[in-house]
Amino acid sequence: MVIKPMIRSNICINAHPVGCAKETERQIAYVKAQKAKRGIKGAKEGGAGPKTVLVLGCSTGYGLASRISAAFEYGADTIGVSFEHEATEKRAGTPGWYNNAAFDRAATAAGLRTITINGDAFSDEIRAKVIEDAKAWGAKFDLVVYSLASPVRTDPDTKVLYKSVIKPIGKPYGGASLDMMTGKISQMESEPASGDDVPNTVKVMGGEDWERWMKQLADAGVLAQGCRTVAYSYIGPALSHPIYRDGTIGAAKKDLEARAHNISSALSAIGGAAYVSVNKGLITRSSAVIPIIALYLGVLFKVMKKKGTHEGCIEQMERLFAERLFTGENAAAGTVPLDSEGRIRIDDLELAPEIQAEVDKIMPSVTEENVAELADLEGIRHDFLATNGFDVEGVDYSKDIADMSKID
């Protein structure tokens, strides 16, 4: 079977096995190069960085990039959790399934211990499995990365299923929406949240589950002295605040940030801490479907690439690890630079005043006729396709894929 991308409204509903693996390998190669450039020594090389890392939501985007950074820059053994559709010979898997397979293959070849658990990270059953695996290794986590993004969550106690929504709060929000594949621009309007939209979204995307994870890991005795945990958030430009930062998702992210303080207090007994890292806006499987974001990112990428400051997922996470989390001697966990609200800001390059001023100047001028000129349409299209294994350098897309479960 020759696999071509199947796209519906900025959602790609299939994946290319070889392309996903190649893209994962590209990120690994980048991290290895940065390791050599920075002169970082992993724990097994006499360094003081993380030895064992848990990544919740490990299969795509920032979670995958975090796991790659931990393993291939710091030599950490990793356990990753994600919920994927497994591939069979005749049926394709999700992009994350192929990414995980490529990561596991590369980590094993590098002599690193790796366990990838395919299951619902919101469930206590998966928490118990992670604890069991850590104890079987005789290891304790010195870093826990929380990078879960899901539209639904079942509360482990009540068994009630909650659904998240992307809506403004208080009043409708309208703006331009870009179809990345066609370049078509349409006006969209989203009605404000109603009923239980806000609390339900907080229940899914807030920090309750993160806090539960850290408590159960601590109670089980699988957190190392000085263990740190980091979860990811986004603030973005003022133009997107009504639909994001001040909307239902923003309410959930604010809950996430508030709970970081609770987790830090609980971890203080072992000298640990919890952080929220505010990251740069990128084209991921999650962000591609948020209205206005695709057009904004297209313009942002154009401006940042011109300035030489653009970063993708792997560049962001490598910098987060090397310049925020592990800044001490020998790559130890040094002092973490924080903003006035106690957050890590790795979105500093995106929100630099000169960058945002240029984006604000361009945005009102974008039309369907000039979008390819004023925005990095080619770049965001590539990023969108690459998250599903398409448009990846070195892949022959005319080649027949006889077995959908193989990544080479």
Positions marked active-site: 244
Residue from 397, 404, 406 nearest 90 by CA? 404
C-alpha to C-alpha distance for 233 and 14, rounded to whole angstroms: 27
55 Rama sector, left if φ>0, alpha if ψ -120 to 50, beta otherwise: beta
Tokens of residue 127, six digits: 């928490």
Sequence-separated contacts (24+) of 11-14 with Cβ below 8 Å: 11/288, 11/289, 12/384, 12/385, 12/387, 12/388, 12/390, 14/92, 14/388
Exposed e or buried b per residue across 36-49, where buried means at least 16 C-beta atoms within 10 angstroms of its C-beta: eeeebbbbeeebbb
CB contact at 8 A, 293 and 287 = yes
CA distance 166 to 360: 23
The 10 Å Cβ neighbour count of residue 11 is: 12
**Distance from C-alpha of 43 to C-alpha of 227, rounded to nearest angstrom:** 15
Q: Which of 57, 67, 125 is nearest to 318 (CA)?
A: 67
Question: Do 104 and 24 touch, CB atoms closer than 8 A?
Answer: no
As a whole number of angstroms, the distance between CA 127 and CA 130 comes to 5
Torsion (CA) 292, 298, 304, 310 in degrees, nearest 10: 100
List the structure tokens of 219. Answer: 């109670």
Rounded distance between C-alpha atoms, residue 99 and residue 139, angstroms: 25
Task: Give the Cα separation of 281 and 259 in Å (integer).
Answer: 23
Provide the residue count of the chain: 408
What is the three-class DSSP state of 82? strand
